[in-house]
Structure 1
Amino acid sequence: MPLHIQAEPPDSPIARALIAELDAVLEPLYPPKSRHGYSVEKLIQQEVAFFVAYLDGQPAGCGGVQLFGEEYAELKRMYVRPAFRGQGVGKRLLAHLQAYAYERGLRVLRLETGIFQTEAIGLYQRFGFRRIPPFGPYFEDPVSLCMEKRLA
């Protein structure tokens, strides 16, 4: 089976499991004040468009996009399970999220990630994201990195 990405409610069992795995990865690496990931409830409340990537029928990763008016879109809760890394899941998921924002008229895509997420940072850089100062609710934090990409 090929890679398939589909919209999924953040409170579905599969989405909840992926988000919990991501939280388990981040918790020992970052202090609470430096973990900005939305809870399942906040993803719903903030109307984040959420997607799950399936590879060979298995849930391989997830990610969301929050739209901030006409100003920008922000990636939320992007994660690829370790067993599925290196198989193009992250690239396809990121391209899907980027296209979602672009199709809705947004031309700026932003994100916040932790400095220890080196694989993710490398992916974002290969996609053309560049470091920016903190935006929105984020603040100067030695373990946080904000990035932005202009969508053409």
Structure 2
Amino acid sequence: MNILRTDSNHPDFQNLVKHLDATLAEHNGDDHEFFDQFNKIDTIKNCIVVYIDEAPAACGAFKEFSMDTVEIKRMFTNPKFRKKGLGTTIVNELEDWAKELGYKKAVLETSQDLKNGISVYEKCGFYKIPNYGQYIGVDNSVCYEKRVG
């Protein structure tokens, strides 16, 4: 396994995000446009791609949410590489990177139906918080937080 820290211009990150977006479009159905507007990657500076045998297997990213907090975004594992702990690896690497940059907390939003993702976040120590920002009042969203620094 190899972990690359990069930005949103990296072609492997962009390709994995295309697969993520297709998966989410199917999952979110009519609500996809609402969520998609918050998931643009053109200005994300902190992205990770995990490689297995040189194949891009998974990705994740964070962006600044506030002066001391990052928001974890764009988490995806290629289905061929699932059930290998890559989600946990990405979350841990993103937390380490955020801490190195001086951030104290990480927040994230996911769908309450994405049980595998929720289990990764909870396993990594994230705890449920009230929905924040644009997710307030969105019934199928669930938000999480964790101290990283």
- Tell which deviates more after alignment, 48-57 or 121-130: 48-57
1:90 equivalenced with 2:91 (yes/no): no
Match of 2:18 in 1: 20
Contact 1:135 1:146 in 2 (8 A): yes
1:150 aligns with 147
Q: Flag the 1:116–1:24 CA change in 2: closer, same or farther, 3 A.
A: same
Paired with 2:104 and 2:97, the residues of 1 have a C-alpha distance of: 11
TM-score (norm 2): 0.89
3-state SS of 1:29 partner: helix
| From 42, 57, 60, the counterpart of 1:60 | 57
RMSD between superposed Cα atoms in Å: 1.7
Q: Percent identity?
A: 30
Gaps of 5+ in 2: none
Asked if structure 2 preserves the Cα contact closer than 8 Å seen for 1:34 and 1:141, the reply is no
Among residues 73, 76, 80, which one is paired with 2:77 in the alignment?
Answer: 80
Q: Name the stretch that deviates more: 101-110 or 19-28.
A: 101-110
TM norm structure 1: 0.87
Q: 2:104 aligns with which of 101, 104, 107?
A: 107
Q: How many residues align?
A: 146
CA distance in 2, matches of 1:131, 1:35: 22
Answer whether contact 1:48 1:67 (CA < 8 A) is retained. Answer: no
Which residue of the other structure, out of 2, 7, 15, is the alignment partner of 2:5? 7
Matching of residue 124 in structure 1 with residue 121 in structure 2: yes
The answer to whether the Cα contact below 8 Å between 1:37 and 1:76 also exists between their aligned partners in 2 is no
- Specify the SS of the correspondent of 2:135: coil
Q: Distance in 2 between matches of 1:10 and 1:34?
A: 19
Q: Secondary structure at the match of 1:7?
A: strand
Letter in 2 for 1:135: Y
SS state at 1:100 partner = helix
Segments of structure 1 that go 5 or more residues without pairing to the other structure are none
**Per residue, is there more helix in 1 or in 2?**
2
Deviation at 1:117, TM superposition (A): 1.4
AA aligned opposite 1:5? I
Deviates further, 7-16 or 115-124? 7-16
